[in-house]
Structure 1
Amino acid sequence: MSSPTGTDDGAEAPEGGAIVYDLASGCTADDVDVGSRYRATVNGVVDYGVFVDLSDAVSGLVHDSNLQGSYEEGDQLVVELGEVRSDGDMSFEEVDVTEFETEHVAHGTAADVDGLADATGDTVVVEGQVVQIKQTGGPTIFQVRDGTGVVPCAAFEEAGVRAHPDVEIDDIVRVSGRAEERNGGVQVEVDALTRLDGEAADAVEATLDDALEAAAEPADIEPLVEWPAFEKLWEDLREVATELRKTVLEGRPIRMRHHADGDGLCASVPLQVALERFIADHYEDGDAPQHLLKRLPSKAPYYEMEDVTRDLNFALEDRTRHGQKLPMVLMLDNGSTEEDTPAYRNLRHYDIPVVVVDHHHPDPEAVEPLITEHVNPYLHDEDYRITTGMMCVELARMIAPDLSEELQHVPAVAGLSDRSEGEAMPDYLALAEEQGYDEGDLRDIGEALDYATHWLRYSSGEQLITDVLNVDCDDRQRHTELVDQLAQKAERDVDQQLDAAMEHVEHERLDNGAHLYQIDVENHAYRFTYPAPGKTTGEIHDAKVAETGDPVITIGYGPDFAVLRSDGVRLDIPQYVTELTEEVDGGGVSGGGHLVVGSIKFVKGMRGEVIDALVEKMADAEIDEELASSTALPDDV
């Protein structure tokens, strides 16, 4: 026989008082003990005493010789179980207690969420915190987190009517009910759900807090390669991994925003797969990964107002329709500049946390007051050569270390896509070769990613992109054939674009000796096709660098934008944007990126003034002989 608490642990009477148990309606004779005291309700009065109910299934007689007062049907009193006869009949006696503590007894066996798969068909008791409340057309679904995981608990009232309206998100509760298999996991069919308070709630909450801290601790892994520059970022990445794991366990959704290019995809896809696996490991709801994580590409190299407005709208709808908490926004390969701050201020109205992992030149004074975590190599006197994809592969491994072998080639793809010549690139290339990828294969993957994401536009292209990157892909041959096809189409379209555009490229020699090439990509390149203006400018730039072997600056401009590329010239595009904003009255200048690669926007009618002022600044820039011998510049704007 179990103890009256429904657990294997007995309860001690409080000093100066006693414990009186209050049985849940589903409790049976197995949940009571002789000598224990219970709340009882009179269900009938006879000449020789009163009959009392302790639950729907537990009742008995209090003989008049054991009564201390007169009672009517419906009255409540405290009784002590005196005897259980061989036929199951129970006899009670009334007790007079002035100081006592009431303890609820849930029907069932105490269970942890991670053990429910072995308890299907049994009645269980789970204590934990409510992290989501979703009203369906039938039951109300309470997602309840204990120290080992999260389980959906289905409570029934009338169809579509909110069950237990007094229970809210973050409340500490005790749930008893039958564990059943549902949606590839386990669901508790609720018999009783009670909101705990006082010492009972405090005890459960303390246990949950300890378990959360332990479960949020990142996996103890070693970096894929030895790289002193990268080691400076390791603790920052561990803090982000902790924050992400904790966010998942607390039931807060994550909206992952990433730059829509090769490095952005090498950052976001591994992290998406890792988080989905972590969610699946800790949630008994098979649909939880889909509901708790969204990967969303961003075309601009900063968080646009269009994107943040969409994110806010979806977040508020999900809170209303699905009972979700407001999300965390996770910015990858994006989010470090002053251009992001208007969007962040919008999120701040709703206390939505923001975490940034990026390698663009940052404005920490502008963004850090508005975000929770910020990882960026520039904050440690490093630069863009440590790409966001490299960082996020390690971040993914800290969350789901079993992914390590599957991700071994991804940092090399990220480095080649963003033209990193960091000291560790040979080591990353060697790791990829161990998995059967030579450098040509990796470049093709980067081109295929760029081509696919161009046509996907605002769609994440879940399965297509994972197949191209060969992460969480179950068919290597399909991956190879897909990459070959997309890379060939990308090469064909680039060649076609250059054939049309090259004759329209204008050239001049700047005072500092650099070649300046300009092209109107709005009028002298194919529009609404691949490659886009940024990629087109980059391809023209690469061709001119190879042709001249000298320092080169290339500007591809449209009616209200310009894309900038530079080799061998020490530019500072973020600083130029700041200066142009002040110097060109009515120009409406904004933008950013890396120091030598970026994009700017301006008012259409002020294009001439803005570009002329920009060229003047470029003509004064210092020539960098070291950079002049290299084409290792990022191509992610």
Structure 2
Amino acid sequence: MATCIICGTSVDGRVCDLHEEDVVFEFRGTQPDELTPRRYYRGTVDGYAEFGIFVDIGDSVTGLLHKSELNTRLDSMDLEPGDMVFVQVQNVRDNGNVDLGWSIRQDESQFRGTLIDDPDAETDLLAEEVDDEDDEGDTDDSESTDPEPVETESVETASEPAQESASEETPEQLDTPGVTVDELDDYVGDRVRIEGEVATARQTSGPTIFELRDETGTVDCAAFEEAGVRAYPDAGEGDVVRIEGEVERRRGELQVETEALVVLEDEEREEVTGRMRDALVERARPSDVEPLAEDPAVEAVLDDVKDAATAVRRAVLEGRPVVVRHAATVDGYVAGAAIERAALPLIREEHAGTDAEYHYFDRRPLEDAVYSMDDATNDVTTMLSNNERHGEQFPLFVFVATGGTAESLDGFDLLDVYGARRVVIDERAIDSEVAEAVDVLVGPDQHDGPATTATALGANVAAHVNEDVRADLGHLPAVSYWEGTPDQYGDLAAAAGYDADDTRTLREAIALEAFYQSYEDKRELIIDLLFSADASDPAELATHISEQYRTRMDDELDTAEANLERRDRDGETVLVLDTDAYTHRFEFPPTQLLLDELFRRHREDCIALVGIDEDEAYIRTDEDVDIRDLVATAQESAPLAALDARGAREGRVEFLRGERKSAQEALLDALAGVFSASAPA
């Protein structure tokens, strides 16, 4: 039996349980389940995500250091990929995900010892013991091998990468096979030649990592000058290069160990870029895909659907992040999740990193139904930070169930300043100015198409982005309809195994979850709800959440029903609810969802329903009412109320709190005028 290296207590290993957290371990294993929870490990920063930092522990395992575990803001961290950090393993999940905690000791000298955690060893080893063994091995090798002079000469040549010439090829280089990224898996252990564009170049504490992109994919190429020293300093992001080296597999991912790198110019550069451009256009354009179901609204915009899918596919192929911004409604969530479902497999195929799907795809709900300057400022700040700190390209922004009205133009203009491309998928009426402000617009209103949902449009875009997920999308359009589900979408859901009760249950579950943590995408939870094959017990999950939805909605409806006020104007009935007095603020259901349910119940009894809050009103009607015109008319009767139609897309009107009464009466009078004018003579 050995003794603890710190206190001398007899132990089976090298450190007692009391002092295990006083030492740091170097991990030599290859699987997450070989890590020991509560131990502190030495790791290196792999990259950043919105929610934390990915840290490599050893050569084969990556864990997540969530931002909630940090003692400072994530955006204020000055760590770079390759930097050494010390973290504590808190949990190893069944799926292999590793949860990490931050160590207040960020220098090895602050620990009371260093041990080697090698699952193949009988016990943990002291770092000095391993170093001694390595030194002995190196000595033996040096004594048994007498290098020839020619070998020494070749090493000296290799240490001067800047001297390589694109026009001078040795016989050895001519024998090296030229391959594409998608062929590298067949050449592990072999020397190859590969050409492409440097997507990013980052310096680690060891080698320089060039992310090389060709017409088939991307791969990391590691070039070593000496520890922490930039190799091939003349080669940087955007350069077209030829790299020769040996293909290896590190931490389960392919990597080229660079032995020579040449920056291509003139005709050689043009040949490579032309090849990449042609291949990119060819790969990005989706094949002809049938719509999910016969839907005149979708058929009216089928060319636009293909253009939107092309934009998403091209962004994935270019290594450009895709950011989906959607309304925080059932329709917005389900439509955004459809595109997410299609894009993630393509990202996994295209980018080798185990965390690529978090780096290259982000779905963020919007609090309001428009893309405001506040939203755009947040996105641009994140975009610029990721570009500066991690070399990320500016993302493609896809707006779903939002963005079709002029209120989003200021936000679009800010994105345009930085050249960020914009795709809008919106089922509502589209303002003409929006078509000029975005790169792709999918909106049936532009083509006089019939009404539909954003999910019906988004799911068809998703089917064009990735036809392999078509079978996963069939039930989604039916989930997005609160009433009057078209027969073709009901049949499509039934064919996918979802009856009307199933889609209602999912709709209510999504509505409830959309309300909580409204600024979070809730990716894994939404996947579990919508895509049952990925959940351990999806029926139980959705049913449980749906029951909460129904209980809370029914309670609020009872209160609202008892306090509805009936207003008769010019022979028409308008129902009015004081939402400030008779709803629970900051609790489910939100005002707009409550009013939607109320109007569905009372549409036969009234021509409109108006909810009046402290400083805003919500209008629900089946009549063709232009909210902006309505507000302009009401403003004449209540000039001091400062009525504003910035929420026109969702039937929302803002006004000054002190003029609440005058604003209410002016809006009701204006509504009566609209209805009387549209009544048949």
TM-score range, shorter chain: 0.7 to 0.9
Cα 1:458/1:311, change in 2 over 3 Å:
same
- For the pair 1:561 / 2:616, whether they are aligned, the reply is yes
Q: Deviations over 1:248-286 (max 9, x none)?
A: 111211111011111112211111121111112222333
CA positional deviation for 1:336: 0.7
SS in 2 for 1:290: helix
When the two structures are aligned, how many residues end up with a matched partner?
524
Opposite residue 255 of structure 1, the aligned amino acid is V
- For the pair 1:518 / 2:585, whether they are aligned, the reply is no
State the distance in 2 between where 1:275 and 1:538 align: 32
State the distance in 2 between where 1:368 and 1:55 align: 64
From 471, 495, 502, the counterpart of 2:561: 502
The within-5 A match list for 1:9-88 is: 56=154
- For the pair 1:535 / 2:596, whether they are aligned, the reply is no
Structure 1, unmatched stretches of 5+, are: 1-50, 60-73, 78-99, 627-637
Q: Which moved more, 1:125-134 or 1:531-540?
A: 125-134
Q: Deviations over 1:614-633 (max 9, x none)?
A: 2222112247999xxxxxxx
- After TM superposition, what 4+ stretches of structure 1 lie above 6 angstroms from structure 2? 51-55, 623-626
SS in 2 for 1:531: coil
Number of the residue aligned with 1:474: 534
Number of the residue aligned with 1:377: 444
Cα 1:503/1:169, change in 2 over 3 Å:
same
SS in 1 for 2:167: strand
- For the pair 1:442 / 2:503, whether they are aligned, the reply is yes
Opposite residue 506 of structure 1, the aligned amino acid is E
Number of the residue aligned with 2:671: 618
Does the CA contact (< 8 Å) of 1:397 and 1:403 recur in 2?
yes
Number of the residue aligned with 2:196: 128
Cα 1:57/1:157, change in 2 over 3 Å:
closer
- For the pair 1:552 / 2:607, whether they are aligned, the reply is yes
- For the pair 1:141 / 2:209, whether they are aligned, the reply is yes
Opposite residue 371 of structure 1, the aligned amino acid is V
Opposite residue 392 of structure 1, the aligned amino acid is G
From 352, 365, 370, the counterpart of 1:284: 352
SS in 1 for 2:154: coil
Opposite residue 102 of structure 1, the aligned amino acid is S
Does the CA contact (< 8 Å) of 2:427 and 2:457 recur in 1?
no
State the distance in 2 between where 1:140 and 1:509 align: 75
CA positional deviation for 1:437: 1.3
State the distance in 1 between where 2:663 and 2:224 align: 65
CA positional deviation for 1:506: 1.8
Number of the residue aligned with 1:572: 626
Number of the residue aligned with 2:655: 602
State the distance in 1 between where 2:633 and 2:264 align: 59
Number of the residue aligned with 1:12: none
Cα 1:225/1:180, change in 2 over 3 Å:
same
CA positional deviation for 1:407: 1.1
CA positional deviation for 1:337: 0.6
State the distance in 1 between where 2:245 and 2:664 align: 69
Instruction: Report which of the two has the higher share of helix.
Output: 2
Q: Deviations over 1:227-261 (max 9, x none)?
A: 33321111111011111111111121111101111
State the distance in 1 between where 2:414 and 2:166 align: 48
Q: Which moved more, 1:605-614 or 1:514-523?
A: 605-614
State the distance in 1 between where 2:358 and 2:153 align: 40
Number of the residue aligned with 2:542: 483
Cα 1:237/1:287, change in 2 over 3 Å:
same
Does the CA contact (< 8 Å) of 2:647 and 2:654 recur in 1?
no
Does the CA contact (< 8 Å) of 1:551 and 1:623 recur in 2?
no
Number of the residue aligned with 2:645: 590
What is the root-mean-square deviation in Å for CA atoms of aligned residues? 3.0
Q: Deviations over 1:307-340 (max 9, x none)?
A: 2222111111111111111112110110011110
SS in 2 for 1:218: coil
Does the CA contact (< 8 Å) of 1:155 and 1:189 recur in 2?
yes
Number of the residue aligned with 1:275: 343
CA positional deviation for 1:495: 1.1
Cα 1:226/1:624, change in 2 over 3 Å:
farther
SS in 1 for 2:585: coil
Query: Which structure exhibits the higher relative contact order, with contacts defined as CA atoms closer than 8 Å and separated by 6 or more residues?
Result: 1
Cα 1:187/1:524, change in 2 over 3 Å:
same
Q: Deviations over 1:176-221 (max 9, x none)?
A: 2222224543122222232211111011111111111111111321
Opposite residue 446 of structure 1, the aligned amino acid is R
State the distance in 2 between where 1:143 and 1:578 align: 55
Opposite residue 492 of structure 1, the aligned amino acid is T
TM-score, normalised via structure 2 length = 0.72
Opposite residue 299 of structure 2, the aligned amino acid is E
Opposite residue 377 of structure 1, the aligned amino acid is P
Cα 1:578/1:216, change in 2 over 3 Å:
farther
Cα 1:312/1:229, change in 2 over 3 Å:
closer
Number of the residue aligned with 1:454: 515
Opposite residue 534 of structure 2, the aligned amino acid is D
